Amino acid sequence: MTTFTGRGHGKLILSGEHAVVYGHPALAVAVDRGAEVSLRRIDGPTRTCAETLCDVRLTEALKAALEPTGWEVSVKSDLPIGRGMGSSAAIAVGLVRAQAAAAGETLDLQTVWERAFAAERAFHGTPSGLDQAVACRGGMLRYLKGPPPIFVDLPCPDQAIVVLDSGEAGDTAQLVAGVRARRPGIDPVLDAIGELVLRVEAALPDPAAVGPLLTENHALLQQIGVSNPMLDGLVQLALDHGAWGAKLAGAGGGGVVIALTAEPESLVEVARAHGVDAFVCQTMPGTTVP
Ligand code: PMV
């Protein structure tokens, strides 16, 4: 029986998370991990393929996005859930593309983004749209929240990024709400993050120059209250072992820390020796295929 598939990229935010919600730019890059969603016609009620997803909310969101009967949906993803790597956005984009394939539609990138963004609103409350933008476009992106949102595709350096997993999921909606509650007191820090994003962009593609700016970004994220001792410890671990720089990536409160270093594999080894789940991601050039 015919299966319709669609794929979305995973992402890492290099700079600008949280500030992007308040109109500052953010820089994010797609990585060589992602989610693939498959749809298969069946008789009877729509169901998810049992072994594909352990996240109940995601399973419900997928079923809600489909007709009540006639589909089996399955997901293959190598993105950790709730770690700031854009797992739900990649799945939303994969689903939009799989549905379009099933309907014989050809969608442009803007339409893929719009549909995936609508699905993510149900999931995350008030997302900026950044995750969906990278999930559908790939590559390196400067993003400015709308309306209308502005996407600027930047040259995507071929870069290894070390990901250090805190082992805990951060609740994006709750963290965004926490930041909102601390405004306007923290607005100068959000402004400083916005300025830093432009310095990071100017430093691309020299990772040795970008690194210290990431560490600076982490300090600002600490000031807006989204880091925690575990994440600070992972940043320090990376710096103690020769990284050019490191920061939490995503909403914080858990999730991952990213590090730029000349020796990615040896940092991964060190992290694992400390009991930290770590891996290397490679940046992914942008897609021109809708
Ligand atoms: O979903 P996460 O953890 O990658 O965080 C998204 C980044 C935020 O700026 C915190 C929220 C948003 O919608 O942009």
pTM: 0.92
Same domain, 146 and 167: no
Give yes or no: residues 221 and 168 share one domain: yes
pLDDT at 125: 64
106-115: average pLDDT: 92
Ligand 1 centre distance from Cα of residue 36 (Å): 21
Pocket lining: 18 vs ligand 1, CB cutoff 6 Å: yes
CA of 251 to the centre of ligand 1 (A): 5
**How many domains are contained in the chain?**
2
Give the CATH number of the domain where residue 169 resides.
Answer: 3.30.70.890
Active-site residue, selected from the candidate residues 32, 78, 108, 131: 131
Instruction: Please say which residue of 118, 152, 186 terminates a domain.
Output: 152
Report residue 147's pLDDT band, with 50, 70 and 90 as the boundaries: confident
pLDDT of residue 65: 81
Q: Are 145 and 188 in a shared domain? A: no
Do 250 and 139 belong together in one domain?
no
Share of the chain above pLDDT 70, in %: 94
Q: Which residue has the higher pLDDT, 122 or 156?
A: 156
**Does residue 127 have a pLDDT over 80?**
no
Confidence label for 2 from pLDDT (cuts 50, 70 and 90):
confident
Question: Which residues lie below 8 Å from residue 239, measured CB to CB, with a gap of 6+?
Answer: 215, 245, 246
- Of 21-25, 101-105, 149-153, 257-261, the least confident: 149-153
CB neighbour list of residue 150: distance below 8 Å, 6 or more residues apart: 142, 143, 144
pLDDT per position as a tens digit, 7-49: 999 999 999 999 999 999 999 999 999 999 999 999 999 888 7
In a domain, 7, yes or no: yes
Residues 187 and 222 in one domain: yes
Give the residue-averaged pLDDT of 176-201: 97
Comparison of pLDDT for 53 and 103, the residue scoring more:
103
- 287 within domain boundaries: no
Q: Is 248 left (phi over 0), alpha (psi -120 to 50) or beta?
A: beta
207, pLDDT greater than 90: yes
Q: Is residue 64 part of a domain?
A: yes
> What is the whole-number distance in angstroms between the Cα of residue 249 and the centre of ligand 1?
9
* 55 in catalytic set: no
Q: Ligand 1, residues 143, 145, 174, 176: which to mutate, most atoms within 8 A of Cβ?
A: 176
**Which range is least confidently modeled, 109-123, 138-152, 236-250, 268-282?**
109-123
Task: Judge if 147 and 209 occupy the same domain.
Answer: no
User: What integer best gives the mean pLDDT of the chain?
Assistant: 92
Among 109, 130, 152, the domain-final residue is 152
The predicted-structure confidence for 164-187, as pLDDT tens digits, reads as follows 999 999 998 899 999 999 999 999
What's the confidence (pLDDT) of residue 289?
Answer: 44
Cβ 156 vs Cβ 284: under 8 Å: yes
Do residues 146 and 166 share a domain? no
Give yes or no for residue 114 having a pLDDT over 70: yes
Domain that holds residue 204: 160-282
Model confidence band, residue 290 (pLDDT cutoffs 50, 70, 90): very low
pLDDT tens profile 60-93: 777 778 889 999 999 999 998 889 999 889 999 9
Q: Answer whether 84 contacts ligand 1 (Cβ < 6 A).
A: yes
Residue 77 lies in a domain: yes
Residues 49 and 148 in one domain: yes
